Structure 1
Amino acid sequence: MRSPLLAAALHSYFKVSSLENLSIEGSFKGKEYIDKMDNASKKTEERDALTITAETDSVYMGVNDPVIVDSGTGKKLSVETASGWEDCVVWNPYGNEGMGFNEFVCAESVKFEPVVTEGGGSWEAKMSLKPGDL
């Protein structure tokens, strides 16, 4: 017996000094992503590091190593995936003062493509955060 399909995400919100001080590094360049702000169109990322200059909601396939870099604080935070998480969602409600858009970024560890487990089976994913200095 097969279980229902499973997709998962850890909705991780990271405080930043300001979006103008933020960059998100990782293996983004050349990866396919779904731009939910553009009718869920599929695109290929051309940047080495991401910056937030507009409302953002993107699913990056095959990216599980984002590093949140805040030049305003001189700190970085590495999202390290041990297993299970294969993708990354980057989200920010740019321009929405009520949500404090300029003070955070969401970089979610995601398993976008559904997993099917056998009856009684399970799926596991692990992620850790590693803070550091620039």
Structure 2
Amino acid sequence: MSISCMKIALPTQYSPCVRPANRQRYRGVAVASLRGDFATLGVSVTEGEGNLPKVVLTSPSGSEADVYLYGGCITSWRLANGKDLLFVRPDAVFNKKKPISGGIPHCFPQFGPGPIQQHGFARNVDWSVFDSESVEGNPGVTLELKDDSYSRSMWDFSFHALYKIILSERSLSTELIIKNTDKKPFSFTTALHTYFHASISGVKVRGLKGCKTLNKDPDPTNPLEGVEESDVVSFPGFVDCVYLDAPGELNLDNGLGDNILISNTNWSDAVLWNPHLQMEACYKDFVCVENAKVLKLF
């Protein structure tokens, strides 16, 4: 079993977790459930963009989060003042023809390029509501995903994924659990590909000094190895870099006046990405700081 947890907070935390076990259960952290009169818990299901169903979490303080069942994708985390800390790209489509480009997409069972489609299939299939609950007065929902003929056509294993999301006044927490329900073992890589709203010229990420790096520019299939030497990582141009054995806490200054503490358990790696001129229309408005497990998890 393996567990991963992630929590984003102002100015406190954003976190993920991973712990291996015999039956390969992967777990990454947030909390939730959908039972009884769940609207009273601050959990509702409504129609979103493209008429796709989405879960809306509303905290007692007035903060909100939107979670699309397609891709199990959190697309918005709005503070009580209306400010959204997540970013959805202007080229995003909500028609199930491609993954939602923005928010917090899943990369599972593969991060990046490999033998199956880029970033795996979990971001372009429908998840379902498994449960909801109030956690210390905060709304939460749990989504689930199981293997089917589509997933097995490219990755021939049986699995059960649970994704818990909890919203509080100034934090968003997630937990991802992947359980091997097959008769044979499997390995996988994974990430939460988080897009933060930002002013890229002012973005600073702290906490990565000394980490081994895999720089995926210019060739993502043959990254260049190195070591991060800077206390503060900025984004003067195109950035696509993996940081191995990253610390449990990173600090993101989004350049818009927000300092976000990203806390995690068992997400062993971090990824920084900004496409620069490859996405000229929007690259100045976001940065991806991702919790990841880029080496195969058994």
TM-score range, shorter chain: 0.7 to 0.9
- 2:221 matches 1:37: no
245, 258, 261: which one pairs with 1:62?
Answer: 245
Greater relative contact order (CA < 8 Å, ≥ 6 in sequence):
1
Task: Pick the structure with greater CA Rg.
Answer: 2
User: Structure 1 residue 66: deviation in Å?
Assistant: 2.3
Alpha-carbon separation, structure 2, partners of 1:66 and 1:101: 22
Alpha-carbon separation, structure 2, partners of 1:88 and 1:105: 13
User: Structure 1 residue 67: deviation in Å?
Assistant: 1.6
Structure 2 counterpart of 1:84: 266
In the superposition, the TM-score normalised over structure 2's length comes to 0.36
In the superposition, the TM-score normalised over structure 1's length comes to 0.76
Identity across the alignment (%):
27
Alpha-carbon separation, structure 2, partners of 1:2 and 1:44: 37
User: Structure 1 residue 2: deviation in Å?
Assistant: 4.5
Alpha-carbon separation, structure 1, partners of 2:257 and 2:205: 14
For the 8 Å contact 1:66–1:107, the answer to whether it is kept is no
Structure 1, unpaired ranges of 5+: 117-134
User: Structure 1 residue 115: deviation in Å?
Assistant: 1.2
* Structure 1 vs Structure 2 CA RMSD: 1.5
Deviations 1:39-91 (A, max 9, x none): 31101111111000111110000114222113x4321111110x220100100
Structure 2, unpaired ranges of 5+: 1-182
Alpha-carbon separation, structure 2, partners of 1:73 and 1:37: 27
Instruction: Tell me the matched-pair count.
Output: 111
Higher strand share: 1
- 2:238 matches 1:94: no
Runs of 4+ with deviation above 3 angstroms: none
1:1-134 aligned at under 5 Å gives the runs 2-16=184-198, 18-26=199-207, 28-39=208-219, 40-64=223-247, 65-70=249-254, 72-81=255-264, 83-95=265-277, 96-98=279-281, 100-116=282-298
